[in-house]
Amino acid sequence: MRVGRRRFLVTGAAAVVAFDPLGLRWVAQATPGTVAVPDLDGELLTDPAALAEAAEDYGQLVHRSPRAVLRPGSTRDVVRMVRFANRHRIAVAMRGQGHSTFGQAQSAGVVIDSRPLSDIAVRGTTAVVGAGATWGSLVDAALALGMTPPVATDYLGLSIGGTLSVGGIGGASQHHGSQVDTVRSLEVVTGTGDLVRCAPGDRLFDAVLGGLGQYGLIVRAWLDLVPAAATARVYKLTYDHLTDLTAAQRIAVRDGRFSYVEGQIVPAEGGWAYVLEAASYHDTEPDDAKLLAGLPPADAEITDLPYRAWLNRITDVVDQIRPLRLPNPWVNLFLPDAGTDAFVADVLSRLTPAEVGGGPILLYPVHRARMTRPMVRLPDTDLVFLLSILRALPADDATVDALLADNRAMYDDAVRIGGTQYPIGSIPVTPADWQRHYGARYRRVLADKATYDPRRVLTPGQHVFG
Ligand SMILES: Cc1cc2nc3c(=O)[nH]c(=O)nc-3n(C[C@H](O)[C@H](O)[C@H](O)COP(=O)(O)OP(=O)(O)OC[C@H]3O[C@@H](n4cnc5c(N)ncnc54)[C@H](O)[C@@H]3O)c2cc1C
Protein backbone atom coordinates (compact mmCIF):
# COMPACT_ATOMS: atom_id res chain seq x y z
CA MET A 1 0.00 0.00 0.00
CA ARG A 2 1.40 3.36 -1.01
CA VAL A 3 0.32 6.41 0.91
CA GLY A 4 1.03 8.86 -1.83
CA ARG A 5 4.03 10.85 -2.80
CA ARG A 6 5.51 13.14 -0.20
CA ARG A 7 4.28 10.80 2.51
CA PHE A 8 6.17 7.96 4.03
CA LEU A 9 5.42 4.57 2.83
CA VAL A 10 4.50 1.12 2.45
CA THR A 11 5.46 -2.09 4.05
CA GLY A 12 4.00 -5.43 3.25
CA ALA A 13 0.75 -4.96 5.09
CA ALA A 14 0.53 -1.44 6.40
CA ALA A 15 1.99 2.01 5.95
CA VAL A 16 4.67 3.09 8.40
CA VAL A 17 3.58 6.30 10.02
CA ALA A 18 5.68 6.49 13.14
CA PHE A 19 8.73 5.23 14.98
CA ASP A 20 8.58 3.82 18.49
CA PRO A 21 11.85 4.96 20.06
CA LEU A 22 11.46 2.68 23.08
CA GLY A 23 10.62 -0.48 21.17
CA LEU A 24 12.92 0.55 18.27
CA ARG A 25 10.14 -0.32 15.83
CA TRP A 26 8.37 1.35 12.95
CA VAL A 27 4.65 1.30 13.54
CA ALA A 28 1.54 1.62 11.43
CA GLN A 29 -0.37 3.61 13.99
CA ALA A 30 0.78 6.69 15.89
CA THR A 31 0.26 6.33 19.63
CA PRO A 32 1.49 8.42 22.55
CA GLY A 33 5.27 8.12 22.75
CA THR A 34 5.76 7.37 19.05
CA VAL A 35 7.21 9.96 16.68
CA ALA A 36 6.00 10.72 13.19
CA VAL A 37 8.21 9.55 10.34
CA PRO A 38 9.46 12.50 8.29
CA ASP A 39 7.62 13.49 5.17
CA LEU A 40 9.43 11.82 2.25
CA ASP A 41 9.55 12.06 -1.54
CA GLY A 42 10.52 8.40 -1.76
CA GLU A 43 9.66 5.24 0.11
CA LEU A 44 10.40 3.83 3.52
CA LEU A 45 10.11 0.08 3.18
CA THR A 46 9.81 -2.67 5.74
CA ASP A 47 8.63 -5.48 3.51
CA PRO A 48 10.57 -8.76 3.73
CA ALA A 49 12.09 -8.49 0.24
CA ALA A 50 13.52 -5.02 0.84
CA LEU A 51 14.89 -6.01 4.25
CA ALA A 52 16.36 -9.26 2.94
CA GLU A 53 18.19 -7.48 0.12
CA ALA A 54 19.70 -4.96 2.53
CA ALA A 55 20.71 -7.76 4.92
CA GLU A 56 23.15 -9.31 2.49
CA ASP A 57 26.09 -8.37 0.33
CA TYR A 58 28.53 -9.84 -2.18
CA GLY A 59 30.50 -11.58 0.57
CA GLN A 60 27.58 -13.66 1.90
CA LEU A 61 29.32 -13.78 5.27
CA VAL A 62 27.35 -11.28 7.36
CA HIS A 63 23.57 -10.94 7.40
CA ARG A 64 22.12 -8.14 9.46
CA SER A 65 18.57 -7.07 8.73
CA PRO A 66 17.70 -3.40 9.02
CA ARG A 67 14.37 -2.30 10.48
CA ALA A 68 13.63 -0.27 7.36
CA VAL A 69 15.04 0.61 3.97
CA LEU A 70 14.76 4.12 2.60
CA ARG A 71 14.49 4.35 -1.15
CA PRO A 72 15.04 8.09 -1.40
CA GLY A 73 13.11 10.19 -3.87
CA SER A 74 15.50 13.09 -3.41
CA THR A 75 18.59 14.30 -1.59
CA ARG A 76 16.18 15.93 0.80
CA ASP A 77 14.96 12.47 1.86
CA VAL A 78 18.51 11.52 2.86
CA VAL A 79 18.81 14.72 4.88
CA ARG A 80 15.50 14.10 6.62
CA MET A 81 16.16 10.44 7.36
CA VAL A 82 19.68 11.02 8.70
CA ARG A 83 18.43 13.92 10.81
CA PHE A 84 15.69 11.64 12.14
CA ALA A 85 18.17 8.82 12.76
CA ASN A 86 20.51 11.19 14.56
CA ARG A 87 17.75 12.52 16.76
CA HIS A 88 16.60 9.03 17.75
CA ARG A 89 20.03 7.37 17.68
CA ILE A 90 19.09 4.94 14.92
CA ALA A 91 22.05 3.43 13.07
CA VAL A 92 21.99 4.30 9.38
CA ALA A 93 24.09 3.11 6.46
CA MET A 94 23.98 3.95 2.79
CA ARG A 95 24.09 0.99 0.45
CA GLY A 96 25.15 1.34 -3.16
CA GLN A 97 25.41 -1.95 -5.01
CA GLY A 98 26.16 -4.02 -1.89
CA HIS A 99 29.48 -5.29 -3.25
CA SER A 100 31.05 -5.19 0.17
CA THR A 101 32.09 -8.59 1.44
CA PHE A 102 31.80 -8.31 5.22
CA GLY A 103 28.62 -6.44 6.12
CA GLN A 104 30.15 -2.98 5.62
CA ALA A 105 26.91 -1.54 4.14
CA GLN A 106 24.57 -3.22 6.62
CA SER A 107 22.81 -1.67 9.60
CA ALA A 108 20.35 -2.91 12.19
CA GLY A 109 18.59 0.47 11.93
CA VAL A 110 17.96 2.01 8.53
CA VAL A 111 19.66 1.29 5.23
CA ILE A 112 19.45 4.03 2.61
CA ASP A 113 19.48 2.57 -0.88
CA SER A 114 21.47 5.03 -2.99
CA ARG A 115 20.42 3.52 -6.32
CA PRO A 116 17.61 6.03 -6.99
CA LEU A 117 20.15 8.87 -6.70
CA SER A 118 21.67 8.03 -10.04
CA ASP A 119 21.46 11.10 -12.26
CA ILE A 120 24.49 11.83 -14.46
CA ALA A 121 25.41 15.02 -16.32
CA VAL A 122 28.59 15.28 -18.38
CA ARG A 123 29.92 18.82 -18.89
CA GLY A 124 33.25 19.01 -20.70
CA THR A 125 35.89 17.55 -18.43
CA THR A 126 33.52 17.16 -15.45
CA ALA A 127 30.80 14.68 -14.63
CA VAL A 128 28.18 15.51 -12.02
CA VAL A 129 26.77 12.27 -10.66
CA GLY A 130 24.35 11.03 -8.05
CA ALA A 131 26.10 8.76 -5.57
CA GLY A 132 24.04 5.74 -6.58
CA ALA A 133 25.05 5.86 -10.25
CA THR A 134 27.35 3.03 -11.28
CA TRP A 135 30.72 3.55 -12.90
CA GLY A 136 29.32 1.63 -15.88
CA SER A 137 26.55 4.15 -16.44
CA LEU A 138 29.02 7.02 -16.06
CA VAL A 139 31.38 5.39 -18.57
CA ASP A 140 28.49 5.09 -21.06
CA ALA A 141 27.42 8.72 -20.59
CA ALA A 142 30.99 10.00 -20.81
CA LEU A 143 31.97 7.88 -23.84
CA ALA A 144 28.99 9.24 -25.75
CA LEU A 145 30.89 12.56 -25.59
CA GLY A 146 34.35 11.06 -26.16
CA MET A 147 35.33 11.22 -22.49
CA THR A 148 36.03 8.71 -19.71
CA PRO A 149 36.73 8.63 -15.99
CA PRO A 150 40.54 8.41 -15.67
CA VAL A 151 40.44 5.40 -13.32
CA ALA A 152 38.05 2.50 -13.71
CA THR A 153 37.63 -0.30 -11.22
CA ASP A 154 37.96 -3.75 -12.76
CA TYR A 155 34.21 -4.20 -12.39
CA LEU A 156 31.97 -1.30 -13.44
CA GLY A 157 28.83 -2.35 -11.58
CA LEU A 158 29.92 -0.61 -8.36
CA SER A 159 28.24 2.58 -7.18
CA ILE A 160 30.23 5.79 -7.37
CA GLY A 161 29.41 6.60 -3.73
CA GLY A 162 30.49 3.10 -2.70
CA THR A 163 33.94 3.27 -4.26
CA LEU A 164 34.53 6.89 -3.21
CA SER A 165 33.90 5.71 0.34
CA VAL A 166 36.75 3.19 0.10
CA GLY A 167 39.18 4.52 -2.52
CA GLY A 168 38.56 2.90 -5.91
CA ILE A 169 41.73 1.51 -7.40
CA GLY A 170 42.50 0.06 -10.83
CA GLY A 171 45.20 -0.47 -13.41
CA ALA A 172 45.22 3.25 -14.30
CA SER A 173 45.86 4.25 -10.67
CA GLN A 174 49.60 4.18 -11.43
CA HIS A 175 48.94 7.42 -13.39
CA HIS A 176 45.91 9.01 -11.76
CA GLY A 177 45.76 7.70 -8.20
CA SER A 178 42.56 6.17 -6.89
CA GLN A 179 39.09 7.28 -7.94
CA VAL A 180 39.03 9.48 -4.82
CA ASP A 181 41.94 11.42 -6.34
CA THR A 182 39.75 12.34 -9.31
CA VAL A 183 37.01 14.08 -7.31
CA ARG A 184 36.59 17.85 -7.63
CA SER A 185 33.87 18.32 -5.04
CA LEU A 186 31.15 16.52 -3.15
CA GLU A 187 27.73 17.04 -1.70
CA VAL A 188 27.54 15.20 1.61
CA VAL A 189 24.89 14.60 4.26
CA THR A 190 26.73 14.55 7.59
CA GLY A 191 25.70 12.39 10.53
CA THR A 192 23.78 15.33 11.95
CA GLY A 193 21.74 15.55 8.76
CA ASP A 194 23.37 18.67 7.34
CA LEU A 195 23.74 18.91 3.58
CA VAL A 196 27.23 20.30 2.88
CA ARG A 197 29.12 20.98 -0.35
CA CYS A 198 32.84 20.43 0.11
CA ALA A 199 35.97 20.56 -2.04
CA PRO A 200 39.75 20.08 -1.73
CA GLY A 201 41.06 21.96 1.28
CA ASP A 202 37.88 21.35 3.29
CA ARG A 203 38.12 19.14 6.34
CA LEU A 204 34.93 17.26 5.45
CA PHE A 205 36.26 16.49 1.94
CA ASP A 206 39.37 14.91 3.45
CA ALA A 207 37.29 12.94 5.93
CA VAL A 208 34.70 11.57 3.54
CA LEU A 209 36.81 10.37 0.60
CA GLY A 210 37.92 6.89 1.60
CA GLY A 211 36.20 7.60 4.94
CA LEU A 212 34.14 4.38 4.96
CA GLY A 213 30.87 6.27 5.40
CA GLN A 214 31.82 7.38 8.92
CA TYR A 215 31.52 11.17 8.62
CA GLY A 216 28.89 11.71 5.97
CA LEU A 217 26.93 10.08 3.19
CA ILE A 218 27.94 11.17 -0.29
CA VAL A 219 24.89 12.17 -2.31
CA ARG A 220 26.53 13.85 -5.31
CA ALA A 221 30.04 14.06 -6.74
CA TRP A 222 31.81 16.24 -9.30
CA LEU A 223 34.37 14.03 -11.04
CA ASP A 224 37.25 14.51 -13.49
CA LEU A 225 36.91 13.17 -17.00
CA VAL A 226 39.65 12.79 -19.60
CA PRO A 227 39.48 12.17 -23.36
CA ALA A 228 38.86 8.50 -24.13
CA ALA A 229 40.88 6.45 -26.60
CA ALA A 230 39.05 4.22 -29.03
CA THR A 231 40.97 1.03 -28.39
CA ALA A 232 42.83 -0.85 -25.68
CA ARG A 233 45.76 -2.97 -26.79
CA VAL A 234 46.09 -5.60 -24.09
CA TYR A 235 49.33 -7.41 -23.27
CA LYS A 236 49.45 -10.58 -21.17
CA LEU A 237 52.94 -11.76 -20.27
CA THR A 238 53.09 -15.04 -18.37
CA TYR A 239 56.04 -15.73 -16.08
CA ASP A 240 57.09 -18.79 -14.08
CA HIS A 241 58.51 -16.70 -11.26
CA LEU A 242 56.90 -14.11 -9.02
CA THR A 243 60.03 -11.97 -9.09
CA ASP A 244 59.85 -11.70 -12.89
CA LEU A 245 56.29 -10.42 -12.64
CA THR A 246 57.09 -7.83 -10.00
CA ALA A 247 60.31 -6.79 -11.79
CA ALA A 248 58.34 -6.24 -15.00
CA GLN A 249 55.65 -4.31 -13.13
CA ARG A 250 58.21 -2.08 -11.41
CA ILE A 251 59.87 -1.22 -14.72
CA ALA A 252 56.55 -0.54 -16.45
CA VAL A 253 55.02 1.50 -13.66
CA ARG A 254 58.16 3.53 -12.99
CA ASP A 255 58.37 4.77 -16.59
CA GLY A 256 54.58 4.77 -17.10
CA ARG A 257 54.78 3.20 -20.56
CA PHE A 258 51.34 1.54 -20.32
CA SER A 259 47.97 3.18 -19.63
CA TYR A 260 47.06 0.31 -17.33
CA VAL A 261 49.09 -2.20 -15.33
CA GLU A 262 47.78 -4.97 -13.14
CA GLY A 263 48.85 -8.58 -12.56
CA GLN A 264 47.33 -11.89 -11.66
CA ILE A 265 48.58 -15.00 -9.94
CA VAL A 266 46.89 -18.06 -11.41
CA PRO A 267 47.00 -21.77 -10.55
CA ALA A 268 49.46 -23.70 -12.73
CA GLU A 269 50.96 -27.18 -12.91
CA GLY A 270 52.75 -27.67 -9.59
CA GLY A 271 52.02 -24.22 -8.18
CA TRP A 272 51.31 -20.79 -9.58
CA ALA A 273 51.93 -18.77 -12.74
CA TYR A 274 52.35 -15.00 -12.80
CA VAL A 275 50.65 -12.89 -15.45
CA LEU A 276 51.44 -9.25 -16.15
CA GLU A 277 48.31 -7.65 -17.56
CA ALA A 278 48.94 -4.31 -19.20
CA ALA A 279 47.09 -2.15 -21.68
CA SER A 280 47.86 0.76 -23.93
CA TYR A 281 44.86 2.95 -24.73
CA HIS A 282 45.32 4.31 -28.22
CA ASP A 283 43.86 5.88 -31.33
CA THR A 284 46.95 5.16 -33.42
CA GLU A 285 48.84 1.85 -33.47
CA PRO A 286 51.13 1.44 -30.43
CA ASP A 287 54.73 0.26 -30.87
CA ASP A 288 54.73 -3.23 -29.29
CA ALA A 289 58.50 -3.59 -29.33
CA LYS A 290 58.94 -0.31 -27.51
CA LEU A 291 56.30 -1.13 -24.93
CA LEU A 292 57.82 -4.53 -24.16
CA ALA A 293 61.48 -3.43 -24.28
CA GLY A 294 63.49 -4.18 -21.17
CA LEU A 295 60.82 -6.33 -19.49
CA PRO A 296 61.84 -9.85 -18.42
CA PRO A 297 61.24 -12.06 -21.47
CA ALA A 298 57.91 -13.89 -21.67
CA ASP A 299 55.47 -15.21 -24.20
CA ALA A 300 53.21 -12.25 -24.93
CA GLU A 301 49.57 -12.58 -25.83
CA ILE A 302 48.50 -9.34 -27.52
CA THR A 303 44.92 -8.42 -28.35
CA ASP A 304 42.99 -5.28 -29.30
CA LEU A 305 39.63 -4.53 -27.74
CA PRO A 306 37.32 -1.54 -28.11
CA TYR A 307 37.93 0.61 -25.01
CA ARG A 308 34.37 0.10 -23.67
CA ALA A 309 34.59 -3.68 -24.09
CA TRP A 310 37.92 -3.67 -22.27
CA LEU A 311 36.48 -1.75 -19.30
CA ASN A 312 33.55 -4.15 -19.29
CA ARG A 313 35.69 -7.27 -19.45
CA ILE A 314 34.60 -8.91 -16.21
CA THR A 315 30.98 -7.76 -16.01
CA ASP A 316 29.48 -10.98 -17.37
CA VAL A 317 31.58 -13.15 -15.06
CA VAL A 318 30.63 -11.15 -11.96
CA ASP A 319 26.99 -11.06 -12.95
CA GLN A 320 27.03 -14.85 -13.26
CA ILE A 321 28.89 -15.43 -9.99
CA ARG A 322 26.85 -13.14 -7.75
CA PRO A 323 23.55 -15.08 -7.96
CA LEU A 324 25.43 -18.23 -6.81
CA ARG A 325 25.74 -16.52 -3.41
CA LEU A 326 29.09 -18.11 -2.66
CA PRO A 327 30.96 -16.97 0.41
CA ASN A 328 33.62 -14.43 -0.63
CA PRO A 329 36.08 -14.08 2.25
CA TRP A 330 38.37 -11.58 0.53
CA VAL A 331 41.65 -10.25 1.78
CA ASN A 332 43.07 -7.04 0.29
CA LEU A 333 46.41 -5.69 1.47
CA PHE A 334 48.63 -2.77 0.51
CA LEU A 335 52.27 -3.85 0.81
CA PRO A 336 55.47 -1.78 0.88
CA ASP A 337 57.54 -2.30 -2.25
CA ALA A 338 60.60 -3.74 -0.53
CA GLY A 339 58.64 -6.37 1.41
CA THR A 340 56.29 -7.41 -1.38
CA ASP A 341 58.19 -10.25 -3.06
CA ALA A 342 59.01 -12.10 0.17
CA PHE A 343 55.53 -11.52 1.61
CA VAL A 344 53.69 -12.78 -1.46
CA ALA A 345 56.02 -15.75 -1.88
CA ASP A 346 55.37 -16.73 1.72
CA VAL A 347 51.59 -16.40 1.35
CA LEU A 348 51.62 -18.47 -1.84
CA SER A 349 53.76 -21.18 -0.28
CA ARG A 350 50.92 -21.78 2.20
CA LEU A 351 47.91 -21.07 -0.02
CA THR A 352 46.25 -23.73 -2.16
CA PRO A 353 44.09 -22.96 -5.20
CA ALA A 354 41.25 -24.72 -3.34
CA GLU A 355 41.40 -22.02 -0.65
CA VAL A 356 40.87 -19.37 -3.31
CA GLY A 357 38.16 -21.11 -5.31
CA GLY A 358 37.07 -19.44 -8.53
CA GLY A 359 38.19 -15.94 -7.59
CA PRO A 360 41.35 -14.27 -8.90
CA ILE A 361 44.49 -13.23 -7.03
CA LEU A 362 45.56 -9.75 -8.07
CA LEU A 363 48.96 -8.16 -7.51
CA TYR A 364 50.02 -4.79 -8.87
CA PRO A 365 51.90 -1.65 -7.91
CA VAL A 366 50.91 2.01 -7.83
CA HIS A 367 52.87 5.17 -7.12
CA ARG A 368 52.29 6.19 -3.51
CA ALA A 369 52.60 9.88 -4.45
CA ARG A 370 49.59 9.71 -6.78
CA MET A 371 47.36 8.47 -3.95
CA THR A 372 46.78 11.79 -2.24
CA ARG A 373 43.66 11.36 -0.10
CA PRO A 374 44.57 11.11 3.58
CA MET A 375 41.95 8.54 4.59
CA VAL A 376 43.24 5.95 2.13
CA ARG A 377 45.98 4.52 4.32
CA LEU A 378 49.02 3.19 2.53
CA PRO A 379 52.56 2.07 3.34
CA ASP A 380 55.02 4.91 3.13
CA THR A 381 57.13 3.75 0.16
CA ASP A 382 57.43 5.11 -3.38
CA LEU A 383 55.70 2.07 -4.85
CA VAL A 384 52.92 0.24 -3.06
CA PHE A 385 51.61 -3.15 -4.15
CA LEU A 386 47.97 -4.17 -3.83
CA LEU A 387 47.60 -7.89 -3.10
CA SER A 388 43.97 -9.02 -3.42
CA ILE A 389 43.03 -12.64 -2.77
CA LEU A 390 39.44 -12.64 -3.97
CA ARG A 391 38.27 -15.99 -2.66
CA ALA A 392 34.92 -17.24 -3.97
CA LEU A 393 34.12 -20.78 -2.95
CA PRO A 394 31.43 -23.03 -1.59
CA ALA A 395 32.31 -23.41 2.08
CA ASP A 396 30.62 -24.46 5.31
CA ASP A 397 30.75 -22.28 8.41
CA ALA A 398 33.82 -23.99 9.84
CA THR A 399 35.75 -23.50 6.60
CA VAL A 400 34.68 -19.87 6.39
CA ASP A 401 35.85 -19.31 9.97
CA ALA A 402 39.21 -20.87 9.14
CA LEU A 403 39.57 -18.66 6.04
CA LEU A 404 38.67 -15.54 8.03
CA ALA A 405 41.29 -16.49 10.62
CA ASP A 406 43.76 -16.95 7.78
CA ASN A 407 42.86 -13.48 6.46
CA ARG A 408 43.49 -12.06 9.90
CA ALA A 409 46.87 -13.79 10.14
CA MET A 410 47.87 -12.41 6.72
CA TYR A 411 46.79 -8.95 7.82
CA ASP A 412 48.92 -9.19 10.98
CA ASP A 413 51.90 -10.30 8.89
CA ALA A 414 51.33 -7.40 6.49
CA VAL A 415 51.13 -4.87 9.32
CA ARG A 416 54.43 -6.22 10.69
CA ILE A 417 56.18 -5.24 7.45
CA GLY A 418 54.47 -1.84 7.23
CA GLY A 419 51.43 -2.89 5.20
CA THR A 420 47.80 -1.81 5.57
CA GLN A 421 44.48 -3.30 4.58
CA TYR A 422 42.38 -1.99 1.69
CA PRO A 423 39.10 -2.15 3.58
CA ILE A 424 36.82 -3.79 1.03
CA GLY A 425 37.40 -7.34 2.20
CA SER A 426 36.72 -9.68 5.06
CA ILE A 427 39.27 -9.28 7.79
CA PRO A 428 37.98 -9.46 11.36
CA VAL A 429 39.31 -6.27 12.99
CA THR A 430 38.72 -4.31 16.20
CA PRO A 431 38.64 -0.58 16.93
CA ALA A 432 42.25 -0.96 18.15
CA ASP A 433 43.20 -2.21 14.68
CA TRP A 434 41.54 0.87 13.16
CA GLN A 435 43.49 3.08 15.53
CA ARG A 436 46.68 1.48 14.26
CA HIS A 437 45.37 1.69 10.68
CA TYR A 438 44.98 5.46 10.93
CA GLY A 439 48.22 5.92 12.85
CA ALA A 440 49.16 9.57 13.31
CA ARG A 441 45.83 10.60 11.78
CA TYR A 442 43.76 8.85 14.43
CA ARG A 443 43.30 11.98 16.56
CA ARG A 444 41.87 13.74 13.53
CA VAL A 445 39.67 10.70 12.83
CA LEU A 446 38.20 10.94 16.34
CA ALA A 447 37.76 14.70 16.05
CA ASP A 448 36.04 14.36 12.66
CA LYS A 449 33.69 11.74 14.07
CA ALA A 450 32.86 14.01 16.99
CA THR A 451 32.20 16.92 14.63
CA TYR A 452 30.31 15.27 11.79
CA ASP A 453 28.66 12.28 13.45
CA PRO A 454 28.68 12.97 17.18
CA ARG A 455 26.05 10.33 17.96
CA ARG A 456 27.90 7.73 15.91
CA VAL A 457 24.87 6.73 13.88
CA LEU A 458 26.62 6.37 10.51
CA THR A 459 27.75 3.14 8.88
CA PRO A 460 28.09 0.76 11.83
CA GLY A 461 29.05 -2.20 9.61
CA GLN A 462 32.59 -0.88 9.28
CA HIS A 463 33.14 -1.22 13.07
CA VAL A 464 35.63 1.63 13.05
CA PHE A 465 34.46 2.95 16.41
CA GLY A 466 33.02 -0.19 17.93
C1 LIG B 1 33.26 -7.96 -8.27
C2 LIG B 1 33.92 -6.82 -7.56
C3 LIG B 1 34.95 -6.15 -8.16
C4 LIG B 1 35.59 -5.11 -7.50
N5 LIG B 1 36.60 -4.46 -8.12
C6 LIG B 1 37.23 -3.45 -7.49
C7 LIG B 1 38.29 -2.76 -8.12
O8 LIG B 1 38.70 -3.06 -9.23
N9 LIG B 1 38.86 -1.73 -7.44
C10 LIG B 1 38.42 -1.35 -6.20
O11 LIG B 1 38.96 -0.39 -5.65
N12 LIG B 1 37.43 -1.99 -5.59
C13 LIG B 1 36.84 -3.04 -6.20
N14 LIG B 1 35.82 -3.69 -5.56
C15 LIG B 1 35.46 -3.29 -4.19
C16 LIG B 1 34.47 -2.15 -4.23
O17 LIG B 1 35.08 -0.97 -4.69
C18 LIG B 1 33.94 -1.84 -2.84
O19 LIG B 1 33.44 -2.97 -2.22
C20 LIG B 1 32.86 -0.77 -2.95
O21 LIG B 1 32.60 -0.24 -1.67
C22 LIG B 1 31.62 -1.39 -3.52
O23 LIG B 1 30.74 -0.43 -3.99
P24 LIG B 1 29.19 -0.66 -3.70
O25 LIG B 1 28.43 0.38 -4.41
O26 LIG B 1 28.78 -2.04 -3.95
O27 LIG B 1 29.25 -0.32 -2.16
P28 LIG B 1 28.44 -0.93 -0.91
O29 LIG B 1 28.88 -2.33 -0.65
O30 LIG B 1 27.00 -0.70 -1.13
O31 LIG B 1 29.02 0.03 0.24
C32 LIG B 1 30.38 -0.01 0.57
C33 LIG B 1 30.63 0.86 1.80
O34 LIG B 1 30.48 2.22 1.45
C35 LIG B 1 29.39 2.80 2.16
N36 LIG B 1 28.67 3.62 1.21
C37 LIG B 1 28.06 3.24 0.07
N38 LIG B 1 27.59 4.30 -0.58
C39 LIG B 1 27.93 5.37 0.15
C40 LIG B 1 27.74 6.77 0.00
N41 LIG B 1 27.10 7.27 -1.07
N42 LIG B 1 28.21 7.60 0.95
C43 LIG B 1 28.86 7.11 2.03
N44 LIG B 1 29.07 5.81 2.24
C45 LIG B 1 28.62 4.95 1.30
C46 LIG B 1 28.56 1.63 2.65
O47 LIG B 1 27.81 1.94 3.81
C48 LIG B 1 29.64 0.62 2.94
O49 LIG B 1 30.26 0.89 4.16
C50 LIG B 1 35.18 -4.75 -6.20
C51 LIG B 1 34.14 -5.44 -5.58
C52 LIG B 1 33.51 -6.47 -6.25
C53 LIG B 1 32.42 -7.24 -5.56
Going from the Cα of 159 to the center of ligand 1, the distance in angstroms, rounded, reads 7
Going from the Cα of 424 to the center of ligand 1, the distance in angstroms, rounded, reads 7
CA-closest candidate to residue 11, choices 55, 45, 49, 40: 45
Q: Pocket of ligand 1, candidates 56, 63, 92, 95: which has the most ligand atoms within 8 Å of its Cβ, to mutate?
A: 95
Distances (CA, A) of 303 to 173, 227, 286, 306: 22, 22, 12, 10
Same domain for 290 and 415, yes or no, is yes
pLDDT higher than threshold 90 for residue 9:
no
Mean pLDDT, residues 139-162: 98
Sign, Cα dihedral of 203, 205, 211, 212:
positive
Mean pLDDT, residues 320-345: 96
Query: 257 CB less than 6 Å from ligand 1?
Result: no
| Structural domain includes residue 7 | no
Same domain for 216 and 239, yes or no, is no
Domain CATH number, residue 64: 3.30.43.10
Query: 165 CB less than 6 Å from ligand 1?
Result: yes
Same domain for 208 and 105, yes or no, is no
| Structural domain includes residue 151 | yes
Query: 137 CB less than 6 Å from ligand 1?
Result: no
Q: What is the pLDDT of residue 109?
A: 96
Query: 133 CB less than 6 Å from ligand 1?
Result: no
Surface-to-core class of residue 62, CB atoms within 10 Å of its CB (0-12 exposed, 13-18 middle, 19+ buried): middle
* The pairing of beta strand 271-282 with beta strand 260-268: antiparallel
| Structural domain includes residue 439 | no
Mean pLDDT, residues 54-72: 97
Distances (CA, A) of 271 to 216, 348, 389, 399: 45, 9, 16, 22
For 381-400, the pLDDT digits (tens) are 999 999 999 999 999 999 99
| Structural domain includes residue 418 | yes
Q: Output the residue whose Cα is nearest ligand 1's atom 51.
A: 99
Same domain for 184 and 296, yes or no, is no
Same domain for 177 and 268, yes or no, is no
Q: Which of 228, 246, 271 is the last residue of a domain?
A: 228
Bigger pLDDT: 181 vs 24 = 181
Q: In the chain, how many domains are there?
A: 3
Residue 403 CB neighbour total at 10 angstroms: 23
Going from the Cα of 135 to the center of ligand 1, the distance in angstroms, rounded, reads 11
Query: 462 CB less than 6 Å from ligand 1?
Result: yes
Q: Pocket of ligand 1, candidates 163, 315, 371: which has the most ligand atoms within 8 Å of its Cβ, to mutate?
A: 163
Q: Which of 89, 113, 137 is the last residue of a domain?
A: 113
For 313-323, the pLDDT digits (tens) are 999 999 988 89
Q: What is the pLDDT of residue 123?
A: 96
| Structural domain includes residue 152 | yes
Q: What is the pLDDT of residue 358?
A: 87
Q: What is the pLDDT of residue 17?
A: 82
Instruction: List the domain range (segments joined by +) for residue 420.
Output: 231-427
| Structural domain includes residue 451 | no
| Structural domain includes residue 97 | yes
Going from the Cα of 158 to the center of ligand 1, the distance in angstroms, rounded, reads 6
Same domain for 263 and 304, yes or no, is yes
Domain CATH number, residue 163: 3.30.465.10
pLDDT higher than threshold 70 for residue 334:
yes
Going from the Cα of 285 to the center of ligand 1, the distance in angstroms, rounded, reads 35
Query: 57 CB less than 6 Å from ligand 1?
Result: yes
Q: Pocket of ligand 1, candidates 78, 97, 100: which has the most ligand atoms within 8 Å of its Cβ, to mutate?
A: 100
Going from the Cα of 100 to the center of ligand 1, the distance in angstroms, rounded, reads 6
Going from the Cα of 162 to the center of ligand 1, the distance in angstroms, rounded, reads 4
